[in-house]
Amino acid sequence: MRILLATSSFLIFFFLSCSKERQNAPDLSGINSDAEIVRFEELFYESSADDLVSLKAQFPYLFPEGNADSVWVNKIEDEDEQYLYAETQKQYADFTEQKSRLEALFNHMKYYFPTFEEPLVITMVTQVDYNNKVLYADSLLFVGLDLYLGEEHEVYADFPAYVKQNNHKDHLIVDIADAMIRPLLRPSDDNSFVSRMVQEGKRLEILSLLLPELTQEEIIGYSEEQWNWAEMSESNIWKYFVQNELLYSTDPELSRRFIEEAPFSKFYLEVDRDSPGRIGSWFGWRITDAYWRNDDPGMRELITIDNEELFKRSKYKPAK
């Protein structure tokens, strides 16, 4: 089949807000967050052996038992780790802007999820651990600042382009919000391709509600060129999905081709290299956004509605 493409602990749901704000900014009056931020990387890499007792007492969860103090002293004095720390300081010595963004995010979380409580934010240097950029565990939020030094930074020289594309400070708040909302989205029992797309669409829609100051491209992590390609190709890609009977397929390979992180989406055609990865997630957001605008649901319904039911009620049609 040919396709013509353009070549360019608050999980308790009954406490959720049922706000239907969409076109207008939500009324955040009376909601004031004060993000508590601990710069652990500063405390650690500027400490000495004499400071370890105090640091270990303050942050026991960051010092696994069984390691002698000499292990931590060696880390503090390690030339490569000190380099990473110095590079993060160039970007984040002044954390005022990020603190302001965090507080705006927390305000929106409290608006949509009234039982939400701000976590303690702990910034770190992770030795460029891509799989642990941001970790959220109820009262604690760990942020690896060395993963947000700018996509052209030399520490990412060996990273594929699609991996390092969002390794910059403007995407930091997106990854933080994403880490906080993922526990809300319970896995669907329906494993169809369209359900998997809608699951991603729900996530992206919630991110857009929590971060209204960001563009759609910034939310999904696409460049402007990638977003434009998706819009220009929307109708033909949808025809490809429909005519190849992919929407209700349970083939797990479809996630790898169209939803998971990848340099491009895989239609197995010459134009693949022009496409952005995760095009299925992009379509899921298109579907979810159509549902939100048509039905005007609250946040609770957006999270809990069955994925296939959402698809039906969205009445999604690709732009011509």
Question: What's residue 295's pLDDT?
Answer: 86
| Six-digit token string for 124 | 């770190």
Averaged over successive runs of 10 residues, the pLDDT of the chain (320 residues) comes to: 42 38 72 96 96 95 92 96 98 97 97 95 96 93 98 96 96 98 92 98 97 97 97 96 98 98 94 94 98 90 96 93
Question: What's residue 22's pLDDT?
Answer: 46
The C-alpha atoms of residue 247 and residue 245 are separated, in whole angstroms, by 6
The C-alpha atoms of residue 76 and residue 81 are separated, in whole angstroms, by 7
Q: Give the DSSP per-residue string, 260-304.
A: SS-SS---SSGGGGGSPS-HHHHHHHHHHHHHHHHH---HHHHHH
**First-residue to last-residue Cα distance in the chain:** 20
Question: What's residue 20's pLDDT?
Answer: 39
Question: What's residue 24's pLDDT?
Answer: 59
Bridge partners (DSSP) listed for residue 56: none
| Six-digit token string for 102 | 């965090």
Those residues whose C-beta lies under 8 Å from the C-beta of residue 186, and which sit 6 or more positions away, are none
Question: What's residue 319's pLDDT?
Answer: 82
